């Protein structure tokens, strides 16, 4: 029996479309939902901040889209394992906290050699973390290779405070003058 | 007389439609009457008192009326579409609009070029071919406009607040858009219905203007959609600062170029599918020869568009990264990274089908046997490149398998899943397909220039150097930092483009005055025509998939970073769901384009034989243009070129 040409073409179209649909079902399936609003009490401890910061790092903050932790080789963006230790040495006069805060609020102010600029300003859309959420992310980053010092009371230079390094520098200068 | 069944079918279709409408109306009236409230015993007289229920209902009605009167006006943010939801409804309609629009924009481009070749050579067959392509436009244009209107009304109805915002930003572009649309309708119908009625130059001018206004429409519409992706010219709160800045956002020009090229590739493939459909239904060798030639040219146009498309894609991707690294990383390394594995399967298939079609096409050319030995090596290279491109960085594996591999990447194959390997594979794939084209082009020609051997050697060296450059940078990409590695794609692309350019120039010069052999149009295996259909389906499916990617990259934003999507559909669906929607859209499209093919076929077949015979009578000798790969090259002394061979086939059949 000869199948009419039109029917043949319908079968081919259906088969090929079906095949591509099957390929689509074979890859990992993941729904991406908008970030949820995270209520952060002002009374939480630094250890609790680290936990919340980690969840923001992996979720709402989209940090893990680009940054890895504990990977080496040809990376597109800096690996963050041991960042607390390195952060204190990145810029003269900056403490680890100063550097991490600047990296989040003004990411293009310092770009690690060998990498391209491109990190978004974290407190602006599309990421748009709040100042409290950023504090928890800093707590988490400080925990990577160091001891977190930040609390929910910490004032950063971007939230009405001053740089720790500058304060320390001033104190040192005063001490020398005395 | 042969058209009677078609006319009868149309008449029956109209009658069936009217009968269905009347039936549906009567059914609705009947249901309405049945479902209406009826008093249990008899109708309530004026003197009768209201039952407590009736009183309560009346009171409720009055309260609702009062509440509606006192309620202040509030703009609705979203409205729901039944069953499938607003997003899927908009998705399908927008995609169908884009598919038809791409076809309507693409066909005039190559129709005008073919018509121009016909005018320049005086060969009527090119004119007839251009007209046959244009025949597909009329109904397609109506369908494009219908889906466009549907999309606009649905956006206003389902996403009123967001649509209002887009109007706030882009209202100055609406009037030029509408005027261009009217102009396009005018040029299209004058171009189509004025075929043979105007002087050739005037008619060609109409065709060129059709392309100009069509491209203008696309460029304006592209501004709206690219603004949603990479907004510019507005404040952080969304207030308009500059309409021109909103138009000329990061991805506007890359999308303009990418779409222009992709439309050509896609339009060529759909037109080739039409020819394949007609070829498979052809009643005689003359028809087969004609539609074989038409399919070949459609496919040639499609592949000419396909080859530079990845380069336009690079530019678009780099602009996305320049706008937002987060968006770029979401595309390539985040939620959509696996989409590129599906894309690799599709593009791999496109290259495979296209090459296969060319190899089958060699069967119709005398003297092509000497190139048969190249097919297996070419197929091997294409298969390897395809496999590398489709290799994922992370493998779906069980926990035990992940532990055994020491991570989600395979210890060996994982190296093929990174961009260094994939860039190398796609560039070699393009180069290999170009070699196939070159072999096909040279199948029916024997160079007569003295430096032919040197020319061949130079071409081989250029190919080898190009491939070595691509592979060399690919390997070096594993050993350098990210910033340097990203920059390597430029010399890779440059090496391929330069090789294609140099080899083409050498080939054109070398084949001047070449001896040609006979091309037996129509003498090709039917499998080749199924490949043309599969190419069209794959192109269409790929357009649907990449449309989903471009739109999906905005994640939970209507306008990325400016206007947030707060509807129930704000999440990004799974790739599995997306592919299902794409497939449904593709099937609807092919159902409709089948209707367009059928309509176009109704008016073409009877006149075709006459045109072919008349054209043959007018051009008994070989004509001056070669529609084989590498373009319409002047070949004043070359014999047996495509249309002439087509006619030769016809005449052979007639005399036999």
> In this predicted model, what pLDDT tens digit does every residue of B199-239 receive, in sequence order?
999 999 999 999 999 999 999 999 999 999 999 999 988 99
With beta carbons less than 8 A apart as the criterion, state whether B220 and B246 touch: no
Which whole number is the average pLDDT over B481-503? 87
Write out chain B residues lying below 8 Å of A21, CB-based. Answer: 579-580, 582-583
Write out chain B residues lying below 8 Å of A14, CB-based. Answer: 587
Distances (CA, A) of A56 to A36, A104, A121, B153: 10, 13, 15, 39
Among B635, B587, B600, B623, CA closest to B275 = B600
Alpha-carbon span A77 to A75, nearest angstrom: 6
- Burial class (CB within 10 angstroms; exposed 0-12, middle 13-18, buried 19+) of B40: exposed
Angle B274-B279-B285 (CA atoms, 0-180°, nearest 5)?
150
Alpha-carbon span A81 to A102, nearest angstrom: 18
Statement: residue B38 has pLDDT above 80 = no
- Nearest by CB to B346, from A6, A20, A77: name it: A20
* Helix, strand or coil, per DSSP, at residue B446: strand
In a domain? residue B494: no
Phi/psi of residue B454, each to 5°? Answer: -65, -40
Alpha-carbon span A100 to B528, nearest angstrom: 61
Number of neighbouring beta carbons within 10 Å of residue B481: 14
The total of structural domains in chain B comes to 1
* Helix, strand or coil, per DSSP, at residue B18: helix
* Helix, strand or coil, per DSSP, at residue B71: coil
Which whole number is the average pLDDT over B181-196? 95
With beta carbons less than 8 A apart as the criterion, state whether B110 and B301 touch: yes
Place of tokens 């249990």: B40
Question: What is the pLDDT of chain B when averaged over all its residues?
Answer: 86
Instruction: Give me the DSSP letters along A14-83.
Output: HHHHHHHHHHHHHS----BPPPPP----TT--HHHHHHHHHHHHHTTT-HHHH--SS--SS-SS---TTH
Which whole number is the average pLDDT over A125-136? 91
Place of tokens 């009578």: B617
Write out the residue range of the structural domain in which residue B314 sits: 86-367+511-644
In a domain? residue B105: yes
Question: How far A167 CA lies from chain B's nearest CA (Å)?
Answer: 33
Among B541, B264, B262, B313, CA closest to B426 = B313
* Helix, strand or coil, per DSSP, at residue B9: helix
- Nearest by CB to A32, from B342, B572, B586: name it: B572
| Ordered alpha helix ranges (H), B477-525 | 482-487, 489-510
Distances (CA, A) of B468 to B424, B501, B577: 10, 17, 41
Alpha-carbon span B268 to B290, nearest angstrom: 16
CA-CA-CA-CA dihedral for A96, A97, A101, A103, to nearest 10 = 10
Residue B634 pairs with which residues in a beta bridge? Answer: B625
In a domain? residue B379: no
| Ordered alpha helix ranges (H), B36-123 | 52-70, 86-121
Q: Of A66-70, B107-111, B406-410, where does mean pLDDT reach its minimum?
A: B406-410
| Three-class DSSP labels, B131-195 | HHHHHCHHHHHHHHHHHHHHHHHHHHHHCHHHHHHHHHHHHHHHHHHHHHHHHHHHHHHHHHHCC
Q: Which of B336, B530, B537 to mutate to test the interface with A (most CBs of A within 10 A)?
A: B537
How do residues B590-629 score in pLDDT, each as one tens digit?
Answer: 999 999 988 888 875 555 444 554 454 444 333 333 444 3
Statement: residue B75 has pLDDT above 90 = no
Q: Show the domains of chain A with their CATH numbers.
A: 46-177 (1.10.760.10)
Distances (CA, A) of B638 to B437, B444, B643: 19, 10, 13
Give the containing element (helix H, strand E) for B43. Answer: none
Give the containing element (helix H, strand E) for B214. Answer: helix B200-229
Statement: residue B395 has pLDDT above 80 = no
With beta carbons less than 8 A apart as the criterion, state whether A143 and A84 touch: yes
Number of neighbouring beta carbons within 10 Å of residue B516: 24
> What pLDDT score does B97 carry?
97
Interface list for chain A against chain B, based on CB atoms closer than 8 Å: 5-6, 8-9, 12-14, 16-18, 20-21, 23-25, 27-34, 62, 65-66, 74-77, 114-116, 118-120, 124-127
Angle B321-B322-B328 (CA atoms, 0-180°, nearest 5)?
15
Categorize the per-residue pLDDT at B410 as very low, low, confident or very high, splitting at 50, 70 and 90.
low
Contact A124 B561 (CB under 8 A): yes
| Both tokens assigned to B249 | 């956002």
> What pLDDT score does A96 carry?
93
The residue of chain B with its CA nearest to that of A13 is B537
Instruction: Give me the DSSP letters along B389-438.
Output: HT--SS----HHHHHHHTSSS-TTGGGGGSHHHHHHHHHHHHHHHHHHHH
| Both tokens assigned to B142 | 């109506």
Write out chain B residues lying below 8 Å of A24, CB-based. Answer: 342, 575-576, 578-580, 582
In a domain? residue B54: no
Q: Of A153-157, A173-177, B528-532, where does mean pLDDT reach its minimum?
A: A173-177
In a domain? residue B170: yes
The ipTM assigned to this model is 0.80
Alpha-carbon span B636 to B300, nearest angstrom: 22
In a domain? residue B49: no
Contact A127 B326 (CB under 8 A): yes
Write out chain B residues lying below 8 Å of A66, CB-based. Answer: 325-326, 329, 333
Statement: residue B655 has pLDDT above 50 = no
Alpha-carbon span B633 to B512, nearest angstrom: 9
In a domain? residue B242: yes
How do residues B83-114 score in pLDDT, each as one tens digit?
Answer: 999 999 999 999 999 999 999 999 999 999 99
Helices B160-193 and B137-158, axial angle in degrees (round to 10): 170
In a domain? residue B240: yes
Alpha-carbon span B651 to B656, nearest angstrom: 8
DSSP code at position B519: B
CB pairs under 8 A between A and B: 143
Which whole number is the average pLDDT over B125-133? 91
Look at chain B and count its residues. Answer: 656
% of chain B at pLDDT higher than 90: 62
With beta carbons less than 8 A apart as the criterion, state whether B506 and B458 touch: yes
CA B210 to chain CA centroid, nearest Å: 19
Phi/psi of residue B571, each to 5°? Answer: -80, 160
Number of neighbouring beta carbons within 10 Å of residue B20: 10
The verdict on whether omega for the bond into residue A126 sits within 30 degrees of 0, i.e. cis, is yes
CA B273 to chain CA centroid, nearest Å: 13
How do residues B289-337 score in pLDDT, each as one tens digit?
Answer: 999 999 999 999 998 898 888 889 888 988 998 898 778 878 876 668 8
Residue B625 pairs with which residues in a beta bridge? Answer: B634
Angle B541-B547-B548 (CA atoms, 0-180°, nearest 5)?
95
Which whole number is the average pLDDT over A101-105? 95
With beta carbons less than 8 A apart as the criterion, state whether B371 and B394 touch: no
Among B111, B268, B10, B135, CA closest to B597 = B135
């Amino acid at each position: 029996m000869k199948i009419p040409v039109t029917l043949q073409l319908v079968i081919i179209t259906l088969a090929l479309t079906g095949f591509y649909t099957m390929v689509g079902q074979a890859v990992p399936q993941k729904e991406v939902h908008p970030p949820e609003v995270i209520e952060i009490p002002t009374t939480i401890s630094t250890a609790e901040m680290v936990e919340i910061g980690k969840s923001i790092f992996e979720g709402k903050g989209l940090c893990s889209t680009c940054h890895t932790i504990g990977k080496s080789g040809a990376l597109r963006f800096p690996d963050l394992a041991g960042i607390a230790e390195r952060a204190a040495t990145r810029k003269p006069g900056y403490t680890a906290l100063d550097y991490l805060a600047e990296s989040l609020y003004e990411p293009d102010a310092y770009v690690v050699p060998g990498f391209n600029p491109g990190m978004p300003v974290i407190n602006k859309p599309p990421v748009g973390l709040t100042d409290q959420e950023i504090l928890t992310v800093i707590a988490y980053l400080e925990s990577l290779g160091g001891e977190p010092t930040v609390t929910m009371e910490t004032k950063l230079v971007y939230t009405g405070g001053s740089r720790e390094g500058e304060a320390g520098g001033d104190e040192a200068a005063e001490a020398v003058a005395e | 007389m042969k058209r009677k069944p078609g006319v009868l079918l149309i008449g029956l279709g109209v009658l069936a439609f009217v009968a269905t409408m009347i039936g549906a109306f009567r059914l609705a009236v009947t249901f309405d009457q049945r479902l209406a409230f009826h008093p249990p015993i008899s109708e309530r007289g004026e003197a009768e008192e209201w039952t407590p229920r009736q009183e309560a209902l009346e009171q409720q009605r009055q309260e609702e009326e009062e509440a509606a009167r006192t309620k202040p006006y509030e703009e609705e943010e979203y409205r729901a579409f039944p069953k499938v939801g607003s997003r899927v409804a908009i998705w399908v309609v927008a995609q169908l609009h884009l598919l038809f629009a791409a076809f309507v924009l693409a066909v005039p481009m190559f129709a005008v070029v073919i018509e121009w070749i016909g005018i320049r050579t005086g060969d009527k067959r090119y004119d007839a071919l251009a007209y046959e392509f244009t025949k597909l436009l009329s109904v397609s244009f109506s369908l494009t406009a219908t889906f466009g209107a549907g999309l606009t009304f649905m956006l206003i109805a389902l996403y009123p607040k967001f649509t209002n915002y887009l109007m706030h930003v882009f209202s100055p572009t609406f009037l030029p858009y509408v005027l261009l649309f009217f102009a396009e309708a005018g040029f299209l119908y004058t171009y189509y219905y004025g075929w043979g009625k105007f002087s050739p130059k005037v008619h060609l001018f109409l065709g060129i203007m059709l392309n100009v206004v069509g491209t203008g429409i696309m460029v304006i519409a592209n501004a709206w959609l690219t603004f949603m992706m990479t907004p510019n010219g507005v404040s952080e709160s969304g207030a308009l600062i500059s309409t021109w800045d909103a138009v000329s956002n990061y991805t506007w020009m890359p999308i303009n170029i990418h779409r222009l090229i992709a439309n050509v590739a896609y339009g060529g493939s759909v037109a080739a599918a039409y020819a394949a459909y007609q070829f498979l239904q052809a009643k005689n060798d003359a028809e087969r020869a004609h539609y074989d030639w038409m399919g070949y040219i459609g496919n040639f146009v499609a592949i000419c568009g396909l080859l530079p498309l990845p380069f336009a894609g690079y530019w678009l991707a780099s602009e996305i990264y320049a706008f937002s690294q987060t968006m770029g990383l979401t595309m390539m390394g985040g939620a959509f990274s696996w989409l590129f594995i599906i894309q690799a399967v599709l593009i791999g298939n496109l290259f495979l089908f296209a090459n296969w079609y060319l190899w089958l096409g060699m069967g119709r050319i005398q003297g092509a046997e000497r190139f048969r030995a190249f097919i297996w090596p070419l197929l091997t290279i294409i298969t390897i490149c395809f496999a590398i491109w489709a290799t994922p960085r992370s493998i779906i594996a069980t926990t035990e398998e992940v532990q055994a591999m020491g991570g989600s990447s395979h210890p060996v194959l994982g190296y093929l899943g990174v961009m260094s390997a994939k860039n190398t594979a796609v560039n070699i794939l393009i180069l290999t397909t170009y070699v196939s084209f070159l072999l096909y082009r040279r199948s029916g020609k024997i160079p007569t220039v003295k430096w032919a051997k040197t020319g061949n050697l130079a071409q081989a060296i250029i190919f080898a150097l190009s491939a070595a450059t691509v592979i060399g940078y690919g390997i070096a990409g594993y050993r350098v930092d990210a910033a340097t590695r990203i920059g390597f794609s430029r010399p890779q692309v440059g090496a391929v483009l330069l090789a294609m350019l140099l080899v083409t120039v050498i080939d054109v010069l070398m084949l001047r005055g070449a001896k040609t052999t006979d091309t037996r149009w129509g003498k090709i295996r039917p499998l080749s025509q199924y490949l043309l259909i599969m190419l069209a389906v794959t192109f269409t499916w790929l357009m649907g998939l990449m449309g989903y990617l471009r739109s999906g990259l905005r994640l939970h934003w209507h306008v990325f970073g400016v206007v947030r999507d707060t509807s129930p559909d704000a999440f990004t669906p799974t790739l599995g769901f997306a592919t299902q929607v794409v497939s449904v859209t593709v099937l609807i499209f092919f159902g409709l384009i089948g209707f367009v093919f059928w309509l176009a076929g109704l008016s073409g077949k009877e006149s075709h034989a006459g045109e072919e015979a008349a054209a043959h009578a007018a051009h008994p000798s070989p004509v001056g243009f070669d529609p084989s790969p590498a373009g319409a090259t002047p070949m004043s002394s070359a014999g047996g070129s495509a249309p002439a061979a087509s006619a030769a086939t016809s005449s052979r059949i007639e005399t036999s």
